[in-house]
Amino acid sequence: MITCCEKSEFLRRERDVWMALREEKAARELAEERLSKKYDEIANLRRQCSKLEAEALEARVRVAPLEKKIDSLGDALVREA
């Protein structure tokens, strides 16, 4: 037979377990929210990197002919000297 003290102890422990579960759930939800924000930041940074990579490629394409022209002018100056 269960005594009143045993029943009271059981109910106290059950309440403690439920409280711990609620706290764990709140902590998990907060962690998931933070993780979601980090994923959004990462996605934004990836988009920015892609744009910058495209800009760098365009700049290289525009600079290449100028580099060749500078090299040929430098060669011409060396020949004249």
Query: What is the pTM assigned to this prediction?
Result: 0.58
- Write the pLDDT tens digit of every residue in 3-50: 889 999 999 999 999 999 999 999 999 999 999 999 999 999 999 999
3-state class of 3 per DSSP? coil
Q: What is the dihedral of CA 31, 36, 38, 41, to 10 degrees?
A: -160
What is the residue type of 30? L
- Write the pLDDT tens digit of every residue in 45-59: 999 999 999 999 999
- Tell me the CA distances in angstroms from 27 to 4, 30, 54, 74, one per residue in order: 35, 5, 41, 66
